[in-house]
A and B are shown apart, each in its own frame.
Chain A
Amino acid sequence: MKHRRMLVLTGGLGVLALIVFLGVAAASGSKPARAEKAAAMPAPKVPKAAAIRKKYGGQTITFVGDSVGNGHVRDTALATQFTKDTGIKVNVVPHPSASDQSYAQLARAFSSKSSSIDVAMIDVVWPGAFAPYLVNLKPKLGKQSKLHLASIVANDTIRGRLVAMPWFGDYGILYYRTDLLRKYGYSGPPKTWSALFAMAKKIQDGERSSNPNFTGFVFQGNAYEGLTCNALEWIASAGGGHIIDKGKVTINNAKARAVLDSIRSQIGKITPQGVTTYQEDQTEHAFDNGDAAFARNWPYQYGIGAGADSKVKGKFSVTVLPHGAAGRSVGTVGGWQLAVSKFSKHQGASIELVRYMTSPAVEKFDAITNSNVPTIVSVAKNKAVVKANPYLKPAIASVPRVTRPAKFLGARYNEASKVVYQGINQILTGSPASQVVPQIKARLQQILNSK
């Protein structure tokens, strides 16, 4: 009797284990097709590999890399090539996809003086906060840094120390469905936000009958760093300033409040109601699944949308973001740098990885296979690169770039950005701008004062 009970219990546990295993397997088995494109073009060889192998071969370093879109596939391909050529083993660990969580991860490692991270990708707004924990790359990579855009190199240079190397740039662009615009009689993408709202409404009303999931416009509305980027574009493109200008908080002005209220009025009408929980991945899924007429995202989405498993392949294009009645189109500057931790036990080998990853050959590879914006000017103008990435066409690439107010805030940037995106998220979920924006202003002022 006792044995029988044991048997039944074991059997039950077996069933349980099987269910859990199948669930996990099903969850992890998605998106195999995405790796194909990266494999089509081989990763570039490492220059002067023999000398590097002699010096650092056999060492193992940990690289905290990308997780959005095809980023991890790209990182793994490059790391494999690097290991093959130099004998330096690279442990590639994808970082959390929300950049403020990725910031938290690095902050935790640095504050505990951990040697577990050797190379990390850091956001364009972080060099100020992390500078004391990063190796000065100027002695070894100063020459290579001259190939990159001077403005980004300046951003990564803190008190004369080059604490990070530009890796790829980013700016917000508008994705739109060329087929649907034609179908509903539009000759081109919208120039203003109000035109976008009207077009999105008309297309959505027409498409809903055949696709109940269809919405006009998707963007990043979740309470996280990405919303600060979106909000900066709305406000700056309406002539409402850049949240903080010349060290003063400027967000509380009529133009800014008006554009925020106009976006709020569209939530649930031409966007999914759940857009206030969307990050980059949800935006990309909705658009590439054929469920949205317009999307705001970074350039990386282009490569996925043009890929084999995309439902909108050949049916979409990109352009600059719309602007308000009084303003002009802008794009928030994003982008990622590679940095070496001061607590790394293999700084030499780590710097060689950074040298390879930020070389012209790799940036070209990344731009073509992964549609990221090169930070090396000559690569950005390369014909093959521009052909693969139409957003590099001068008409789009020359759009005024707006920067998040990191330089006024230094180590307090993350906290200030949280104030901004929490407030904007509140507006998107229903609170009027006239009520929230003054609170944002007061809290930002408090942070600036206490700095």
Chain B
Amino acid sequence: MSSVATPAPVPHRRRRRRTKLQRRQTRLAWLLLLPALAVVVFVAIYPLGKTVYQSFTNQEFLAGLTPTKRVGFSNYHTLIHDTIFRDTVVLTIKFTVITVSFEFLLGLIIALVVNSHFKGRGVMRAIMLVPWAIPTVVAAKMWLWMLDDTYGVVNDLGMRAHILSHPHAWIADPSTQLAAVCAVDVWKTTPFVALLLLAGMQVIPKDLYEAASVDGANQLQQFWRITLPLLRPAILVTLIFRTLDALRVFDVFQVFFGYRLGAQSMAVYNQSTIVGDGHVGYGAAMSVAIFLIISLFVVIYVTFVRVSEQ
């Protein structure tokens, strides 16, 4: 028995027991994280979870008498066949693509201008932010009057400049309604895009441009070879911000069109389903669908970032 060789000692893979200090530090870390985690659970995970739960019920807003019960996937089934919802998704995505493209291009130009050195640059930067500083509902109401066919200043100027032959009802006419609402959003949000891009430009080291000038690169080459590549992180942040914002647009649409059919954004239709019609369950299913649509855009962007980083 004793001849049996004792097995070679297996190298200890087991983690070494953590010291008392380490354990205390871990505990402290969790303790310090706890408030932040609690906030995230409270403001993000709980409402989202509740919405998902509600989307499987027939809950009504003013449910005075009818008891709420679970209805499985029937809300989602209805949603797939809801042509009004489909129209709002298409309209909102159109709105997003148009506004984000214009805002990005114009914002980039403005950022380049105010990034260069000239007198009164500080004042210029502040004034540029005026549209963005006006609350959206106020701005929308203002544009509602400016675009009015009878009293609007836009038609008045157009007629005086002989661009228009007769006043046009920009908001009332279904063929120009999308253009009108996009124009207002571009007017209001371009400054924000310019501000984000400007912040990105300011961190690009100046000596890169000096070196490029010494090597004989002209302004355009400097822009394509230095500014744009180094601005990429800022551009991506800006695009993600704006896209998500545009996808959940509510105020301009609500002020301009009320609940006009064919002129509702996803958020307007969702709000009117829950609060106006009182269908909390169905509205929750719609919220989840909107959440997934917006997530899809996030996934696309994030993938793009990963791929471009490699």
Contacts and interface: CB of A to CB of B under 8 A. Distances in A.
Given A11-B122, A104-B276, A224 B258 contact: yes
A422 B60 CA distance: 22
Interface string B125-168: 11101100110001000001000111100000000000000011
Interface string A228-270: 0000000000000000000000000000000000000000100
Interface stretch (B16-24, B61-69, B289-297, B299-307): B61-69
A12 B64 contact: no
A8 interface: yes
A429 interface: yes
B113 to A, nearest CB: 16
B210 interface: no
B134 A23 contact: yes
B46 interface: no
Interface residues of A, number: 52
Interface string A270-287: 001111110000000010
A287 to B, nearest CB: 12
Nearest to A227: B258
Contacts of B172: 273-277, 429
Contacts of A213: 150-151
Contacts of A20: 130, 133-134
Contact of B169 (A5, A131, A272): A272
A16 interface: yes
A407 to B, nearest CB: 17
A276 B257 CA distance: 9
A110 interface: yes
B277 A415 contact: yes
Contacts of A277: 144, 169, 171-172, 256-258
B278 A415 contact: yes
Interface in A97-140: 98, 100, 103-104, 107-108, 110-111, 129-133
Contacts, number: 127
Interface string A426-446: 100110000000000000000
Interface SS of B by simple majority: loop
A43 interface: no
A16 B127 contact: yes
A379 B173 CA distance: 45
Contacts of B144: 277
Interface string B271-288: 110011111000000000
A273 to B, nearest CB: 4
Given A16-B130, A286-B150, A274 B258 contact: no
A273 B169 contact: yes
A195 interface: no
B175 to A, nearest CB: 9
A223 interface: yes
Interface of B: 60-65, 120-127, 129-130, 133-134, 138, 144, 148-151, 167-169, 171-174, 256-262, 271-272, 275-279
24 contacts: A8-B120, A9-B122, A9-B125, A11-B122, A11-B126, A16-B133, A103-B276, A131-B64, A215-B150, A222-B258, A268-B169, A272-B150, A272-B169, A273-B149, A274-B169, A274-B171, A277-B144, A415-B278, A418-B272, A418-B276, A421-B259, A422-B259, A422-B260, A429-B173
